Amino acid sequence: MKSSASADIQVPVAQSWPAKIRSLNYWLVEDIGGGPRPWKMSWIINFQKVSTSIFLGLLMWWYADKTPAATSTAAWVFLALHGTYGFVWLVKDLAFPDPGWQKKVTIMGGLNAFLLVLGPYWLFGWLLISGTSTANYPLPDNAWFAICIAICMMGCVIMIAADAQKYFTLRLKRDLITDGVHRYVRHPNYLGEMMIYLSLALMAWHWIPVLVLAYIWLGIFAANIAGKEASMSRYPRWADYKKRSWLLLPGIF
């Protein structure tokens, strides 16, 4: 670990690969194709989040006379979890929008963001509602639903609290945030979102969501987290904060 005095001059070698991945990701969803930039990234994200409930509802209607899975309790629970999360995200964006999502992107970049990053999450619901996933849970259905609901709710609370704290704190002072939900976990917003989609993957109970989460978590989240770690290392309190906190899970990781 470099000292804080050199953090803004030289990035540690270990951070070079995340920087390259982040640059590729940003190019794919922001700049690819060039040309006009007609929409903000936040518009694309909000559209996908809110339209999720419509998409899932249409799936349930389409498959209703084709498979009992379409109107099963699992399908309704999934609709409630994933659909409501979309509106939770919209409320969050209206109340304290993330500055990072306000950048305008190219047409191809916006389509890539929708199809390559956000779109794969819709596979979870299709697998469950279409009956493609048999969803033979390791526990009785009601117990499994309760676990998934609890994980999703806790994930929403952690994500909302983290983003709100970050938004309102940084409006007053640009500094390292080391209290509140950031006291023991350095990236609680990522932890919250990972918990939300983990709960949806557990509801779908299929190998495809595992691949999707691995693709998002390793290909996007890991690089972004590494970049944030490098950025935070320029603050004088960074060494002490890193020593007493955890990356994502207190006491584990």
Q: Which domain holds residue 194?
A: 21-244
Question: For residues 57 and 67, what is the distance between their CA atoms, to the nearest angstrom?
Answer: 15
Question: For residues 133 and 22, what is the distance between their CA atoms, to the nearest angstrom?
Answer: 33
Tell me if 27 is assigned to some domain. yes
Tokens 């350095």 -> residue? 186
- What number of other Cβ atoms are within 10 A of residue 85's Cβ? 24
Domain count for the chain, please give it: 1
Percent of the chain with pLDDT over 90: 85
Tell me if 5 is assigned to some domain. no
**How many Å is the Cα radius of gyration of the chain?**
20
Question: How high does pLDDT run on average in the chain?
Answer: 92
Question: For residues 41 and 30, what is the distance between their CA atoms, to the nearest angstrom?
Answer: 8
pLDDT (mean) for 161-172 = 95
Tell me if 11 is assigned to some domain. no
Report the DSSP beta bridge partners of residue 246: 185
The larger pLDDT score, comparing residue 231 to residue 18, is at 231
Tell me if 43 is assigned to some domain. yes
Tell me if 125 is assigned to some domain. yes
Percent of the chain with pLDDT over 70: 94
Tell me if 89 is assigned to some domain. yes
Ramachandran category for residue 205: left, alpha or beta (phi over 0 → left; psi -120 to 50 → alpha): left
Q: Which residues contact 131 (CB under 8 A, 6 or more apart)?
A: 63, 66, 67, 68, 69, 70
Using a 10 angstrom Cβ sphere, with 0-12 exposed, 13-18 middle and 19 or more buried, the burial of residue 245 is middle
Tell me if 29 is assigned to some domain. yes
Tell me if 108 is assigned to some domain. yes
pLDDT (mean) for 48-64 = 98
Q: What is the model's pTM? A: 0.90
**83-109 tens-digit pLDDT:** 999 999 999 999 999 999 999 999 999
pLDDT value at residue 134: 86
